[in-house]
Amino acid sequence: MSRVVILDESTANQIAAGEVIERPASVVKEMVENSLDANATSITVEILNGGIKSIKIVDNGDGIDADDVEMAFERYATSKIRCIDDLNQISTMGFRGEALASIASVSKVEVITKTEEAETGTRVVVEGGRVLSSEPVGAPKGTTFIVRELFYNTPARYKFLKKDSTEAGYIHDIITRIALARPDISMKLVNQGKTVIHTPGNHDLLSTIYSLFGKETARAVIPLELSQSGIEVSGYIGKPEISRGNRSLEMVFVNGRSVYNRIITAAIEDAYKTRLMQKRFPFTVLKLNISPEAVDVNVHPAKLEVRFSDEQLIYRTVNLAVTAALSEASLIQNVEEDSDHSKMYTFQAIPESEAEQVKMEESKPVGRLEQPGNSLTVAEYRKKEYSDYSAPEGFVNVKDKDAFTEEREQSREEIRDVVIPQNMQKANEVIQPPAKVSVPQVQDDRERLINAQIVGQAFESYIILEEEDDLFLIDQHAAHERIRFEKIKKQFTLENPFSQGLLSPLTVELTELEMQKFNELASYIKKLGFEAEAFGNRTVIVRAIPYLMGGSFSGRDFRDILEKLSQETKGVLEIIPEETIYMVACKSAIKANRSMSPMEIKGLLNDLVNTENPYTCIHGRPIIISISKKELDKKFKRIV
């Protein structure tokens, strides 16, 4: 008796549905992408019970010819490709020809469609993969799909669906990403009869960001644009004040498709390094246009992940684009009333399929976000060496390409519930594009700080400056840390350390393990500006220290620096030990609770404005905040 059989068409389609159609959001994604491929300029999605009961998608696209409607529900039916060679040039959102067949096999589907040339439309009803009826009907140009009772005939799949609000949250995330990918399309999402998304479709990405995330976010984004080596990078990135506790708002689009790629994620987060605090992640809407031949979109069945033929080129280009945009923009944080960005969101969830790719951590179901436990570090993810300190390109030379293929370490496997915007506008409200966002430039900030009047100190910790209608508050310790960090880093990179000899050499007792680390890291220690040598089995004599460090340097300080250096460079050669340099800078910086004279403050400001990044310390804490006279007048009720 033969044990090998050919599956019937219905079973095969339901298996295919398991790969492509995971939940109502999968249906929405596939159907909306079909609408985009049909040249629609307006797409409306209406859902009931999180899309489980009903999904209705209406577009004004090209429609489907009457002769092709029934064939469109056949497996492998497609209008996108004709042969295998076409895959290398595919530019549409889909082509596999399984979506409609898969959806129809596990639901009750009704489609009404009409092309511009046709005199009447066509209505086709399909249930469980079988065509029940096909008839002419009056209809406008475009296509309407109604999907009812998803997984009605596959109870095993149905029972794994989550509650209605969670499924609706998945759909909300899908529509948000598609709207950002296509600001030329007016996207509308109606949930239980209430409009929760409505984008203008005016070709302006900033207007779309405004309509999806609100005014505060739109005001705190920075435009970026770069074209080189056949790669175009564009979009908007967020200032530190709108960063999140997870990667849910790191949105990346490759050739118009929302995707996940660890190389791009690393390039973005490395550019934000020292500008964001640990365990904070940037808001990004970053778009890459690249030749289809250089990108593989078929890594994942739902095309959520992509691969590139030249990952190092992608890393360098994205990193440069984000770094340049951040370097040219003012990142001074303004103290404003009602500026709590967390108030703009309510708790919902992202699609599991995408979350599995991003591998986000689970947050506890409480009224505040928990920060994820792990984040990418240099030592864990790749070995790298910065180019010359003063090089304007700011490229990072990746020494070990194999390190790019290492899987990112994650602390948990479950999916994090994330925040998404809700009810940003009333039903049927027309979204007005925001006024053009003006991004203050770094040079303007530096001139303002230099020209500002020194008012004094607060609590002997914060410098107070007055400039026109703004007050600047500067954390003197963080500012001095930044200054010293960049100086030491430059000297380390150029292998030109400056040392100051100690009047009395410092004898440091080490453990056996610490002594082994000292011997292994001798070249690093010298490049930092130390002159130290072994004296006996477990003793080191320190004769000189970095010139920036004060006379209070102790054996404990040396052991701390040695331990940090060994952690950061473990098994990795030729990197810049930034955390160690930061420790050296921190130990030598002006402390809080220290009185400073006007001359000292002036000198500190002169040094600060000459740094590469005068806005944050290396760990992302703000150095400068500002408060306007207008805001003070509001606080004192002089104006309302």
Cβ atoms of residues 77 and 170 within 8 Å: no
Q: Are residues 241 and 369 in the same domain?
A: yes
Distance in angstroms (rounded) separating the CA atoms of residues 398 and 405: 13
Residue 431 within a domain: no
pLDDT of residue 496 exceeding 90, the answer is no
pLDDT computed for residue 10 by the predictor = 57
pLDDT at 74 exceeding the cut of 60: yes
Question: With bands split at pLDDT 50, 70 and 90, how would you rate the model's confidence at 4?
Answer: low
Residues 210 and 149 in one domain: no
Would the pLDDT of 433 be above 50? no
Q: What range defines the domain where residue 228 resides?
A: 197-421
Q: Which of 358, 386, 421 is the last residue of a domain?
A: 421
Q: What is the CATH number of the domain that holds 509?
A: 3.30.1540.20
The tens digit of pLDDT for each residue in 445-471 reads: 999 999 999 999 999 999 999 999 999
Residue 432 in domain? no
* Same domain membership, residue 355 and residue 401: yes
449 lies in the same domain as 415: no
| Model confidence at 360: pLDDT above 80 | no
Percentage of the chain beyond pLDDT 90 is 60
Does residue 426 fall inside a structural domain?
no
**CATH code (residue 154):** 3.30.565.10
pLDDT, mean over the chain: 80
Alpha-carbon distance of 26 to 353, in angstroms, equals: 9
For the record, the structure tokens of 296 come out as 């593989």
pLDDT beyond 70 at 571: no
pLDDT greater than 60 at residue 358: no
Domain membership of residue 433 (yes or no) is no
Structure confidence at residue 415 (pLDDT)? 22
242 shares its domain with 360: yes
pLDDT at position 380: 35
Whether 361 maps to a domain, the answer reads: yes
Shared domain for 283 and 414, answered yes or no, is yes
Pick the last residue of a domain from 144, 161, 178. 161
Q: Would the pLDDT of 513 be above 70?
A: yes
Residue with the larger pLDDT of the pair 146 and 301: 146
* Whether 309 and 448 share a structural domain: no
User: What is the CATH number for 353?
Assistant: 3.30.230.10
Higher pLDDT, 588 or 184: 184
25 domain-assigned: yes
Q: Across residues 194-216, what is the average pLDDT?
A: 96
DSSP codes joined into one string, 518-564? HHHTHHHHHHHT-EEEE-SSSEEEEEEEETTS-TT--HHHHHHHHHH
* Cβ-based neighbour number of residue 621 at 10 Å: 16
The residue-averaged pLDDT of 233-247 equals 95
- Ranking 43-47, 193-197, 350-354, 499-503 by mean pLDDT, the lowest is 350-354
Return the percentage of the chain with pLDDT > 70, whole number: 74
Burial track 298-324 (b if 16+ CB lie within 10 A, e otherwise): eebebbbbbebeebebbbbbbbbbbbb
- pLDDT on residue 296: 79
Whether 619 and 541 map to the same domain: the answer is: yes
Q: Per the domain annotation, does 181 fall within a domain?
A: no
Q: How high is the pLDDT of residue 349?
A: 36
Between 389 and 114, the more confident residue is 114
Is the predicted pLDDT of residue 514 greater than 50, yes or no?
A: yes
* Same domain assignment for residues 234 and 154: no
Angle formed at CA 595 by CA 590 and CA 601, multiple of 5 degrees: 70
pLDDT at 392: 26
191 within a domain of the structure (yes/no): no
489, 378: one domain: no
Residues 539 and 415 in one domain: no
Residue 373 has pLDDT above 60, yes or no: no
What is the band of 554 on the pLDDT scale with cuts at 50, 70, 90? Answer: very high
- pLDDT bin (cut points 50, 70, 90) of residue 439 is low
For residues 458 and 508, membership in a common domain is answered with yes
Give mean pLDDT, residues 546-555: 84
Q: Choose one of 114, 133, 161: the last residue of a domain.
A: 161
Measured CA to CA, the distance from residue 501 to residue 542 in angstroms comes to 9
pLDDT of 414 above 50:
no
Number of domains comprising the chain = 3
9 confidence band (pLDDT: 50, 70, 90): low
* DSSP for 124-184, written as a single string: EEEETTEEEEEEEE---SEEEEEEESTTTT-HHHHTT---HHHHHHHHHHHHHHHHHH-TT
